[in-house]
Amino acid sequence: MIEVKNLTKKFGSFTAIEDISFSVADSSVYGLIGYNGAGKTTLLKCAAGIYRTDKGKVLLDGENSYDNGEIRQGLFYIPDDMFFISNATVEGMARFYKGMYKSFDTALFEKLLRVFSLEKDAKLRGFSKGMKRQAEIIYALSCRPDFMLLDEVFDGLDPQKKEICRNLFLEYIADSKCSVIISSHSLGDLANLCDHVGLINGKRLTVNCCVDDIALMNKKFRVLFSQSIPKERLEVLPVKNLQVQGPVATFHVLGSDNLKKVQTAMQALPVSEITPAPLTLEEVFLSEMEAQSNDLQQIFG
């Protein structure tokens, strides 16, 4: 189990993430989403014990991950910026991980090589970005970790390899107690892999819920009013992405509390027809990012 407790990380006077708390149960995957520079990688590095936190802590099975060699024996971190020993072959790098992880499974490593059709004696420096990713995933799974921290792990993979990787992760997680935190910009990738997601916005975790709950807690509405209604009347409601065209209004509502508030408010309005639909993960992300989008609209006029 991974527990992130009141995590704050500052770089000098700049606060990267502030007071973030969530937990990842055994055999579950936590998807971390957020705009570029939101602090996802920072959070993962804190969890991996690379960065020292300014406040709060990250516990792996109840033990602080920072500079804890014993607990980190069960941790594998795939960074966005991968490192391979200079001039190393696929097998050479495997030897490195085999040396560093007692649990390294050579048979599994060889099986996975066949799955991805990678040559043992191929030099890693000659690999494309996607092939390097595949190699890194092979190393990670071969180490049979209890905790995996995956930073943009699908970046550079083709759709077929993405699917293979996703299935491999799911299979491994199902077979083991591995807790995974995965960050990605491809929200579609996360939707089919994670059971929980967290959204970092403005240094804080603004969404932290079960993927299944997203549909229940976050909805988009298309409302047909019996007469045209001024936009101002709807703007006071806790809605996002509000668009009004004559008697038709569309908006997103995030969170169950907000849903209740909006449903109550609608009863006082001349609604002819109301059509709710669940929000996708991507739509939730975009709704949360609405402030930034507005800024862009202002920039480009």
Residues 171 to 230 in contact with other proteins, rule: CB under 8 A? 176
Residues 197, 186: contact at Cβ < 8 Å? no
Residues 34, 199: contact at Cβ < 8 Å? yes
> Quick check: 145 binds other proteins (CB under 8 A)?
yes
Of 17, 31, 89, 101, the residue at the interface with other proteins (CB under 8 A) is: 101
Nearer to other proteins, 107 or 296 (CB): 107
Report how many residues bind other proteins under the rule CB under 8 A: 35
Residues 260 to 289 in contact with other proteins, rule: CB under 8 A? none
Non-local CB neighbours of 269 within 8 Å, separated by 6+ positions: 225, 229, 233
Nearer to other proteins, 31 or 49 (CB): 49
C-alpha separations of 55 from 124, 151, 251 in Å: 38, 22, 37
CA atoms within 13 A on the CB side of 248: 4
Instruction: Look at strands 29-34 and 179-183 and give their pairing.
Output: parallel
> Quick check: 39 binds other proteins (CB under 8 A)?
no
Of 4, 17, 131, 149, the residue at the interface with other proteins (CB under 8 A) is: 149
> Quick check: 74 binds other proteins (CB under 8 A)?
yes
> Quick check: 82 binds other proteins (CB under 8 A)?
yes
> Quick check: 81 binds other proteins (CB under 8 A)?
yes
Burial 120-149 (b: 16+ CB within 10 A, else e): eeeebeebeeebbbbbbbbbbbbbbbbbbb
Q: Which residues bind other proteins (CB under 8 A)?
A: 11, 45, 48-52, 61, 67-77, 79, 81-83, 96, 99-103, 143-146, 149, 176
